[in-house]
Amino acid sequence: MKRAIVFGLALVSTGLVAACSSDSTAPAIGTGSPSDTTPNTPGGGSQVPGEVTPQQTLPVDSSFKPTPQQALDYMRYLGPSLLGRVLTDEEEAKITAGAASAVKPMVETWVAEPGFVEAVKSMMEIRLGSNGTRGKADFNLPGYIVRHVVKNNLPWSNILTSTTCYDATDKAIACDTGAPFTAGVLTTRGFLAGNEGRFNLGRARAMLLTFMCRDYPVEDSLQPYIDKVRLKLMFRASNASEQQVAEVAGGFGNGLQCFSCHGQFSNHAQPFVKFDQSGTWIADATGAQSTTGQLGESDRSLMASHFDTPAEAALEKAQWFGSDVENLAGGAAVMAKHPKFRECAVQQLLDMGVGLDLGFDTKVKGLAVMGDFLAEIAKAVTTKSPDPTIQELAVATYSDVRVMAATLNGLKR
């Protein structure tokens, strides 16, 4: 018995001990010897795990010229996240020979791999909070749309403008909300049911975080505030003295500055007003506050509108990012064309590839990458390809030397 324990412990802990001890033998990315440019080959000739060479903080600007080892470290870190595999010997040899010049052509081949398709699908499933099945509702539909768009090199905007859904075999099928319009992943019961909630705040916020990389309150240049008088009385208050609704004045919700967020929430939530909790579109939904339900709920498993007048509350019309829209499809179309949508995709790609520190201060809620940097990358892509694929955005992002430098800086120890 003792021998068996020792065996099991030793054998298993050969690998597992690294998880429990700072005395890890795991290789340090960005810390290999600069002279170690030999590609890994089974049986020898590779970077020795645990060898740590003191390294200075790399300059994060366009002057950065990665060494072959730095390029290799970067790609070794990036590759498994994008592809679900480690680098091949041939890939390591190419990077070793070409350093930074080998990165872009290699990323171009990577984004054509099935692993990249699945990685993007998983990323979006998690952001949209939708996968699996519940009863007859297939929460996988958003992921299937994403997979179809990526696999077929369609413009990334199609995830918001797709007029059809897809099944597990990638066969086109009708979307499942029953609405007389479509808006890609937004008009799937998976997304709608997965993010349902009072006043449709959850749906609006998931939309904003996922596709615009913003959180409330958004800069008003991006989402202009609504006229206060159109809102229910409780949402009009910008401060305590303005609050005229007793139960809210007592500190309900975020307290007394309702308008700071709901002045924008209101417009974003309104196009969801006819989708019930299950994501089914109800033509005669009114957006009226239920007399028996909780605040923010309407009857028939629907949610209440922010708008004060019954006529306006019952409509799907709203203003998204400065444009008037008729319904959710209109809002999705506005987003799909918006520069911030593509900039947000760059941020999502960075998080998928290298993992972003959310504590990094960009001064903008929801942004974990400096906005001007995202804008620069996205603009460079759209100059050549106005409605780019996620692959085009990925190649531009991952082959940017500043991304390499910032990643390597973060991975040294």
Partner 1 sequence: MKYLFPVCALFSVACTGIFDGQTPGDQSSNVPLTNNPATPGGGSGSSTTTNTPTTTTPAGAPFKVRNTEPELVPFDMRVRRIATAIGVSVDHAMFADMNKNSLKLGDYDYANGALPDGSWNANRIAAWLLALKPVCNSAEMKAKYPTLPESLPALVRAAWGHVPSPDDTTDFQNAIAASGATPTVNYESTCMAVFAAAEFVYR
Identify the burial level of 283 via C-beta atoms within 10 angstroms of its C-beta, where 0-12 means exposed, 13-18 middle and 19 or more buried.
exposed
Q: In sequence order, what are the residues at sequence separation of 6 or more whose Cβ sits closer than 8 angstroms to the Cβ of residue 224?
A: 319, 322
Of residues 179-238, those binding partner 1 (CB under 8 A): 190, 194, 205-206, 209-210
| Structure token digits, residue 154 | 């369609």
Query: Interface mask (CB under 8 A) for partner 1, residues 270-309, using x and -?
Result: ----------------------------------------
Task: Rank residues 128 and 234 by Cβ distance to partner 1 and give the closer one.
Answer: 128
Of residues 87-106, those binding partner 1 (CB under 8 A): 87
Shortest Å, Cβ 374 to partner 1: 8
Q: Should residue 111 be labelled a site residue for partner 1 when binding is judged by CB under 8 A?
A: no
Query: Interface mask (CB under 8 A) for partner 1, residues 241-270, using x and -?
Result: ------------------------------
CA 164 to chain centre: 22
Total residues interacting with partner 1, rule: CB under 8 A = 103
Candidates 352, 393, 401, 404; binder of partner 1 (CB under 8 A) is 352
Task: Rank residues 60 and 282 by Cβ distance to partner 1 and give the closer one.
Answer: 60
In which residue are the tokens 């001064």 written? 363
Hey, how many other C-beta atoms are within 10 angstroms of the C-beta on 90?
A: 9
Closest Cα to residue 233, out of 195, 193, 262?
262
Task: Rank residues 29 and 313 by Cβ distance to partner 1 and give the closer one.
Answer: 29
Of residues 4-43, those binding partner 1 (CB under 8 A): 4-22, 24-29, 40-43
Residue 205 CA to residue 97 CA, distance in Å, equals 46
Task: Rank residues 12 and 174 by Cβ distance to partner 1 and give the closer one.
Answer: 12
Q: Should residue 50 be labelled a site residue for partner 1 when binding is judged by CB under 8 A?
A: yes
Candidates 117, 137, 237, 248; binder of partner 1 (CB under 8 A) is 137
Q: Are strands 172-173 and 318-320 parallel, antiparallel or unpaired?
A: unpaired
Hey, how many other C-beta atoms are within 10 angstroms of the C-beta on 75?
A: 24
Task: Rank residues 17 and 249 by Cβ distance to partner 1 and give the closer one.
Answer: 17
Shortest Å, Cβ 272 to partner 1: 16
Shortest Å, Cβ 79 to partner 1: 7
Residue 190 CA to residue 213 CA, distance in Å, equals 21
Q: Should residue 63 be labelled a site residue for partner 1 when binding is judged by CB under 8 A?
A: no
DSSP state of 291: S
Candidates 66, 79, 184, 271; binder of partner 1 (CB under 8 A) is 79
Q: In sequence order, what are the residues at sequence separation of 6 or more whose Cβ sits closer than 8 angstroms to the Cβ of residue 392?
A: 381, 384, 385
Report the alpha-carbon angle 75-81-83, nearest 5: 85
Task: Rank residues 36 and 299 by Cβ distance to partner 1 and give the closer one.
Answer: 36
Report CA-CA distances (Å) from 170 to 125, 135, 143, 184.
16, 21, 11, 15
Of residues 329-348, those binding partner 1 (CB under 8 A): 347-348
Phi first, then psi: what are they for 351, rounded to 5°?
Answer: -65, -40
Shortest Å, Cβ 185 to partner 1: 13
- Please tell me whether the peptide bond between 80 and the residue prior to it is cis, using omega within 30 degrees of 0: no
Of residues 360-389, those binding partner 1 (CB under 8 A): 360, 368-370, 373-374
Task: Rank residues 131 and 289 by Cβ distance to partner 1 and give the closer one.
Answer: 131
Candidates 86, 112, 172, 380; binder of partner 1 (CB under 8 A) is 86
Of residues 115-134, those binding partner 1 (CB under 8 A): 115, 118-119, 122-123, 125-134
Candidates 66, 76, 261, 325; binder of partner 1 (CB under 8 A) is 76
Closest Cα to residue 205, out of 215, 196, 213, 197?
215
Task: Rank residues 93 and 315 by Cβ distance to partner 1 and give the closer one.
Answer: 93
Shortest Å, Cβ 359 to partner 1: 8
Closest Cα to residue 354, out of 81, 69, 116, 67?
81
